[in-house]
Amino acid sequence: MTTLSLCMIVKNEQKSLDRILSIASTFCDEIIIVDTGSVDNTKNIAKRYTKNVYDFTWVNDFSKARNFALDKATKDYILWLDADDYIDFSNVEKIKKLLKTDLYADIYMFLYDCGKDETGASNLIFYRERLLKTSKKFRFVGAVHEAINLSGRVEYLDILIEHKKQVKTEPKRNLKIYFNMQKSGVNFTPRDNYYFGRELYYNNYFTRAKTQFKRFIKMDGFIGDLAEAHILLTDCYIKTNNLNLAKKVIFDALKKYRPYPELLYKVGEVMFLLKQYEMAIAYFNFATTTPSVSYNFERPLYKNLYPYLMLTVIYFNLGDFKSAKFYHEKCKMLSPKHPSVIHNDKLPQLK
């Protein structure tokens, strides 16, 4: 039988903490909560489940807070979670079954479903390091988007954790941390450069994001991050009305990396914007028939719904209403409540 320590860092999580602790307490032997400055009822909720509630002065570094929590663990393995994570019954049972065995790997990877579209459908799934052998003294790295550098024996399991955010975080929280790191002269790792670019992009600093992604692409970074950086750089050029450079960047990515649905979809989008509709149609169809790659995030909607929506639009604009309706019906089967599907369903040509 393997024993398990749950390690969490929290701040103002009174709306979600009870949910995850009520679940985790059914299979964790030890619960460690590190509070980074709550002013609500978070700590009192935590104390209902454990006496191991610690204060940690926030220093704009998620890894330092998480590593403080890891240092408190005393059981065989460590499970780390966020307060707004959720584990359903079937996956709890998988974890319980796993813990009844003598675990041997140093790190166990679980699936993480952390993105939903407008209708609640999953659109971002990837593996994260979740169970860590305590004796190996693993440490998180990175002030933002912290992670464990994989080493030793790593096993991938079909256990799923869902991210169900109930409280909105400050939109520029992570970006401010990167700005402070930059101002303080911190040497950015390749991973820092990539995620700094992402934060700039998602906060609409497209010109600065372009510079950051171009800098990262020249580095020796993780192949999945490099491929994603090309996609986001392409989108920066789209949003700043430079379609020729967008085309250059995305086709450069197509030469460098094994094709996968999101990459092919982005090629199709650029071709659509350039009004090269035959090529756009081809690449959107490729997106639906090409498997995902193991080194990248899984975004299921780029394998079906999103390309089908674009094919509906293209054929509609070309006046081929039969083909447009064909793809619209596929969209309706996949996501009948998606706003674009509802809008298209009102068009008389698609009845």
What pLDDT, on the 0 to 100 scale, is given for residue 116?
Answer: 75
Judge if 201 and 154 occupy the same domain: no
Instruction: Check whether residue 151 and residue 197 sit in a common domain.
Output: no
The pLDDT of residue 166 is above 70: no
> 188 and 249 share a domain?
yes
Share of the chain above pLDDT 70, in %: 99
Q: For position 226, what pLDDT does the model report? A: 97
Sign of CA dihedral 147, 150, 152, 153: positive
Stretch 77-106: mean pLDDT: 97
Asked if 56 and 80 count as a contact pair (C-beta separation under 8 A), the reply is no
- Specify if 325 maps to a domain: no
Asked if residue 178 and residue 138 are part of one domain, the reply reads no
Last residue of a domain, one of 143, 163, 183: 163
Average pLDDT of the chain is 95
Question: What pLDDT does residue 117 have?
Answer: 75
Would you say residue 269 lies in a domain? yes
CA angle 245, 247, 252 (to 5 degrees): 95
> Does pLDDT of 233 surpass 90?
yes
Pair (11, 136) in one structural domain: yes
Does residue 171 have a pLDDT over 90?
no
| Residues 6 or more apart in contact with residue 275 via CB below 8 angstroms | none
**The last residue of a domain, from among 112, 135, 163:** 163
pLDDT of 112 > 90? The answer is yes
Tokens 């009845």 -> residue: 351
Asked whether residue 187 falls in the same domain as residue 268, the answer is yes
CATH number of 10's domain: 3.90.550.10
Is 345 within the bounds of a domain? Answer: no
Q: Give me the pLDDT at residue 168, please.
A: 65
Residue with tokens 């990515």: 253
* Full residue range of the structural domain in which residue 248 is found: 173-303
In this model, does residue 115 exceed pLDDT 80? no
Give the domain-ending residue among 137, 163, 189: 163
- Does 308 reside within a domain? no
Q: How many distinct structural domains can be found in the chain?
A: 2
Residue 310 lies in a domain: no
pLDDT class of 167 with cuts at 50, 70, 90: low
pLDDT band at 241 (very low <50, low <70, confident <90, very high): very high
pLDDT of 54 strictly over 80 = yes
Per the CB < 8 A criterion, the answer to whether 72 and 54 are in contact is yes
Looking at the fold, whether 81 and 200 belong to one and the same domain comes out as no
216 in the same domain as 133: no
State the first-to-last Cα distance of the chain, in angstroms, to the nearest integer. Answer: 60
- Say which residue, 165 or 238, is predicted with more confidence: 238
CATH number, domain at 298? 1.25.40.10
Is 164 a residue whose pLDDT tops 90? no
